[in-house]
A and B are shown apart, each in its own frame.
Chain A
Amino acid sequence: QVSLKESGPVLVKPKETLTLTCTVSGFSLSSGRMGVSWIRQPPGRALEWLAHIFSDDEKSYNTSVNSRVTISKDTSKSQVVLTMTNVDPVDTATYFCARIPLTHFAYDMDVWGKGTKVTVSS
């Protein structure tokens, strides 16, 4: 069964670096054009896509956070890591990771993690 699980700190101080980990199971991060995206959702607001990494390590970023965000993966650990530098209170959100299998030749997200809540505050 395919699943994804996010983990990381609950509270981060402004200007610090946030590191979130998505641990996947039931599929390989190295197969086909399988990929994982990170998406966030501020309290009471809409979803915002942040970054994506493909099985061949190709990456794509949202330009709104491009200079502060890095996505990487460790295939042996089945993990995808999102790093966000210089965080601000506006980065307070629930962060989700989701699989994009490209089985329909489109970038839709068929399985999501439950999300992890991150608060940026001093």
Chain B
Amino acid sequence: DIQMTQSPSSVSASVGDRVTITCRASRDIGNWLAWYQQKPGKAPQLLIYAASSLQSGAPSRFSGSGSGTDFSLTISGLQPEDFATYYCQQSTGFPLTFGGGTKVEIK
């Protein structure tokens, strides 16, 4: 199985900050990576697919980059509604695997 490792596990930031979360795959997954946002008590929502493509309806302040084994999600200009937990997921094939999550908290 492909292991997905996210860092940091949590980050404190202020409104307006630029935040970057990283995700590492245990082997080359090309650009087959998705990012999700999850708010407390809610289902995850797809933000980014194919490592850097913005899902329809997702704000343009979210961007993704990377390929192979190293990926990142950047939030440019953190908004109050962005405080949530973010997960990466390898989408290359089964078994699908998620990272451990990164909680973005208010500083």
Residues of A within 8 A of B (CB): 37, 46-49, 52, 60-63, 96, 98, 104, 106-110, 112-115
Contact = CB atoms under 8 A, between A and B. Distances in A.
Interface string B84-105: 0001010111111111110000
B78 interface: no
Q: Is the interface of A mostly helix, strand, loop or mixed?
A: loop
Interface residues of B, number: 26
Interface of B: 1, 32, 34, 36, 42-46, 49-50, 53, 55, 87, 89, 91-101
A96 B87 CA distance: 15
Given A37-B96, A46-B99, A112 B44 contact: yes
Contacts of A114: 42-43
15 contacts: A46-B98, A46-B101, A49-B95, A52-B96, A61-B95, A96-B43, A96-B44, A106-B92, A107-B94, A108-B34, A108-B46, A110-B46, A110-B49, A110-B55, A112-B43
Nearest to A106: B91
Nearest to B42: A114
A6 B12 CA distance: 33
